[in-house]
Amino acid sequence: MKTKKPNAELVWKQIEDMLAPRLRLSITDRVVYSHLVRHSRLEGQLSLRFSIPWLSRSVGLCSNSTRWAVRRLISRGLLRLAQCSKAGHVIEVLLPEEILAAGADKADGANRTAVSAPPSFLPAFYSQGEDFLKTAALRKSIHARERGRCFYCLRRLTPQARCLDHVVPQSEFGGNSHWNLVSCCLQCNSQKGERSALDFFRRLYRERRLSDAELAERLRALDTLAAGRLRPLRAAQANSLPHKARRPRLLPTAS
């Protein structure tokens, strides 16, 4: 759909001066967003059909980093996913003034680091959903889902040496829903810190704490988690598991 071409100078200034600092966009997200704006709205098009390989080649990033950047931009409301298929993605690209207007009322004057009050323009992926830190039973259901292994390094865990970790850090508005919490060892929890899960998996691989195959499997698990298809194991389900601990296994569901 054709739209009026915006003032490119104004758009660029709004990205640099307002959008990036207010949403604390990473360099990767800025590059990907700017490139998509360039090829959609600055050409008078509201939406854009593209593939991850095309986008990653264009911005000089690997396909995994590009895919995650697109996901973050969608989840933060800078892009709207209109279609996703093997042929590629169709996204609507929002301009800075549209994004900021959507969240201006509550964002202005808000404490930008307050996890309990994320800006309203952050979507449910980051800020809503059932709070799985709220009760012991809910926390246990996340531990049960990982079946006694650290989500990151696959080390066997004991109840005394495990904790829950936010995959998207709370400082980046990662929420307490089941798709953002994983069971992990204390060492991984401490070492991951504010890093992205992707970066942390790479570190584990470089340190030879994950093999080639384990890294590939963990990245698939991360994708499945991000898609909301790695569900917590509630008490009844957990009790039906055999006592002998097993390697974590993905549990894709229909939704």
Contact segment (CB under 5 A) with Zn ion among 79-87, 90-98, 129-137, 146-154 equals 146-154
CB of 86 to Zn ion, least distance (A): 34
Q: Contact at 8 Å (CB) between 19 and 99?
A: yes
Distance CA 186, CA 165 (A): 9
Picking from 226, 167, 161, 249, the residue whose alpha carbon sits closest to that of residue 200 is 167
Contact segment (CB under 5 A) with Zn ion among 57-65, 83-91, 103-111, 183-191 equals 183-191
Give the residue with the Cβ less far from Zn ion, 38 or 203.
Answer: 203
CB of 131 to Zn ion, least distance (A): 24
What character string, x for contact with Zn ion (CB under 5 A) and - otherwise, covers 153-172?
x-x-----------------
Options 11, 138, 150, 182; binder of Zn ion; rule CB under 5 A: 150
CB of 126 to Zn ion, least distance (A): 24
H or E element, residue 39 = helix 27-39
- How many residues interact with Zn ion (rule CB under 5 A)? 6
- Asked whether position 200 contacts Zn ion by CB under 5 A, the answer is no
Distance CA 69, CA 10 (A): 24
**What three-state secondary structure class fits 187?**
helix
Q: Which residues, in sequence order, are CB contacts of 182 under 8 Å at separation 6+?
A: 142, 146, 151, 152, 164, 165, 167, 225
- Asked whether position 188 contacts Zn ion by CB under 5 A, the answer is yes
| Residue 92 DSSP label | E
Phi (first) and psi of residue 92, to 5 degrees: -100, 135
Distance CA 57, CA 141 (A): 40
Distance CA 1, CA 63 (A): 27
Picking from 102, 75, 84, 80, the residue whose alpha carbon sits closest to that of residue 92 is 80
- Asked whether position 70 contacts Zn ion by CB under 5 A, the answer is no
- Asked whether position 79 contacts Zn ion by CB under 5 A, the answer is no
CB of 244 to Zn ion, least distance (A): 21
Give the residue with the Cβ less far from Zn ion, 67 or 218.
Answer: 218
- Asked whether position 142 contacts Zn ion by CB under 5 A, the answer is no
- Asked whether position 185 contacts Zn ion by CB under 5 A, the answer is yes
The footprint of Zn ion (CB under 5 A) covers 150, 152-153, 155, 185, 188
